[in-house]
Amino acid sequence: MTFAFEFSNVQFRYDGLSDCALCGLTVAIPPGEKIAVLGRNGSGKSTFFLHCNGLLRPQYGEIRFGGKPLSYARADLRQLRRRVGIVFQNPDDQLFSASVGQDISFGPLNLGFSSAETEERVRQAAELCGVTHLLDRPTHALSGGEKARVAMAGVLAMEPSVLLADELLSAIDPWARLDIFDILQTLYDRGTTILLATHDLSVVRYWATYVIVLQKGKIAFSGTPAQLLQNSSVLEATELSKIWWNVDMTVEE
Ligand SMILES: Nc1ncnc2c1ncn2[C@@H]1O[C@H](COP(=O)(O)OP(=O)(O)O)[C@@H](O)[C@H]1O
Ligand SMILES: [Mg+2]
């Protein structure tokens, strides 16, 4: 199997900070899975995502995408960002155009697609994300759930093979989450590799097919949800047992 991503001993420190954000992160991400990315605030989840699409570059170590080392040449980065899309934690960081339609068009236009091709991609992505009726709306006049779906549409208009969703669920209500899970399921059925940063046990138990847990810039666990939920020593060591103490941990294989 060719992994979607392979990180080998990746280290990264933000300017001026003494602590590393990624401190020798080694992990292999299987393709075509629904992957929950766990870890408390500051454990490195967002920094990990930013390395996956080349927005940040390792200061040490190596990243492979589809078996090949990442190249940071301009044209290669463009290609990478077309294939690996990020939905940021805060949709307001993502949405900056005046209208929803302009916002969703931004990615494809920026990647050099013709206006006809862009239009078609926007139409399809908007339909998938249920935002067709919002295309002429100003982006600031949307609800949280609508913003999340518009942010997703903007990324999906580039038809990425990997979707990185950074704590996308934290700012939206449970009904809006259902919409997001419907979209993610459609993408999964098409073969998209999905990484979702979350703290939600039900996501791990009922949605994820694979889980990685970050702790202090390293991987504390990678494996199936069942392997994680049955491993009390990992749950203790990662402090997940502290937030999941009151739930029944039985899980089907
Ligand atoms: N833009 C930034 N500048 C400086 N330090 C940062 C920045 N983003 C994150 N960090 C630091 O890097 C570490 C990892 O953060 P982050 O990747 O955001 O973790 P998570 O997404 O799991 O909360 C934290 O110590 C955080 O304070
Ligand atoms: Mg984060």
Look at 17-26, 134-143, 159-168, 239-248 and tell me which has the smallest mean pLDDT. 239-248
| pLDDT one-digit tens code per residue, 106-118 | 999 988 899 999 9
Asked, for residue 89, whether it belongs to a domain, the answer is yes
What distance in angstroms lies between residue 234's CA and the mean position of ligand 2's atoms?
21
For residue 108, the domain's CATH number is 3.40.50.300
User: ∠ CA(34), CA(40), CA(42), 5° rounding?
Assistant: 110
Bridge-based pairing of strands 193-197 and 34-38 is: parallel
Looking at residue 174, its pLDDT comes to 87
Looking at residue 96, its pLDDT comes to 82
Q: How many CB atoms lie within 10 A of CB 66?
A: 15
* pLDDT value at 247 more than 80: no
- Report, as an integer, the average pLDDT of 39-50: 96
Asked, for residue 115, whether it belongs to a domain, the answer is yes
Measured between alpha carbons, how far is 95 from 88 in angstroms, rounded to an integer? 10
Global pTM value: 0.94
H or E element, residue 215: strand 210-215
Asked, for residue 249, whether it belongs to a domain, the answer is no
Ligand nearest to the CA of 44: 1
Ligand nearest to the CA of 40: 1
Per-residue pLDDT band for 20 (boundaries 50, 70, 90) equals: very high
What distance in angstroms lies between residue 218's CA and the mean position of ligand 1's atoms?
13
DSSP 46-110: HHHHHHHTTSS--SEEEEEETTEE---SHHHHHHHHHHEEEE-SSHHHH--SSBHHHHHHHHHHH
Per-residue pLDDT band for 98 (boundaries 50, 70, 90) equals: confident
Ligand 1 atom at minimum distance from 19 CA: 25
- Report, as an integer, the average pLDDT of 210-237: 95
Ligand 1 atom at minimum distance from 43 CA: 22
H or E element, residue 162: strand 162-166
Bridge partners of 212, per DSSP, are 37, 222
Bridge-based pairing of strands 22-29 and 68-69 is: unpaired
Q: How far is C-alpha 39 from the geometric centre of its chain's CA atoms?
A: 14
Number of domains in the chain: 1
What distance in angstroms lies between residue 217's CA and the mean position of ligand 1's atoms?
10
Asked, for residue 95, whether it belongs to a domain, the answer is yes
Bridge-based pairing of strands 34-38 and 210-215 is: parallel
Task: Name the residue of 10, 12, 14 to mutate for ligand 1: max ligand atoms within 8 A of Cβ.
Answer: 14
Looking at residue 91, its pLDDT comes to 80
- Report, as an integer, the average pLDDT of 97-105: 93
Q: Which residues line ligand 1 (CB under 6 A)?
A: 14, 17, 19, 21, 39, 41-47
* pLDDT value at 168 more than 90: no
Asked, for residue 172, whether it belongs to a domain, the answer is yes
Which residues, by Cβ under 5 Å, contact ligand 2, an ion?
Answer: 45-46
Find out whether 121 and 70 touch, Cβ atoms under 8 Å: no
Task: Name the residue of 7, 15, 17 to mutate for ligand 1: max ligand atoms within 8 A of Cβ.
Answer: 17
What distance in angstroms lies between residue 75's CA and the mean position of ligand 1's atoms?
28
Query: Roughly what angle, to the nearest 10 degrees, separates helices 144-156 and 100-110?
Result: 20
What distance in angstroms lies between residue 252's CA and the mean position of ligand 2's atoms?
29
Looking at residue 253, its pLDDT comes to 60
Bridge partners of 86, per DSSP, are 164
Let me know how long the chain is.
253
Asked, for residue 253, whether it belongs to a domain, the answer is no
Asked, for residue 34, whether it belongs to a domain, the answer is yes
What distance in angstroms lies between residue 40's CA and the mean position of ligand 2's atoms?
9
More confident site: 176 or 9: 9
- Report, as an integer, the average pLDDT of 57-62: 98
Sheet of strand 193-197, all strands in order from the earlier edge strand to the far edge: 84-87, 162-166, 193-197, 34-38, 210-215, 218-223
Q: Which of these, 201, 232, 237, lies nearest to 220 by C-alpha position?
A: 237
Asked, for residue 248, whether it belongs to a domain, the answer is no
Task: Using only the alpha carbons of the chain, give its radius of gyration.
Answer: 18
67 CB-contact burial (10 Å; exposed 0-12 / middle 13-18 / buried 19+): exposed
Give the structural domain span for 127.
5-243
- Report, as an integer, the average pLDDT of 70-74: 96
Ligand 1 atom at minimum distance from 89 CA: 21
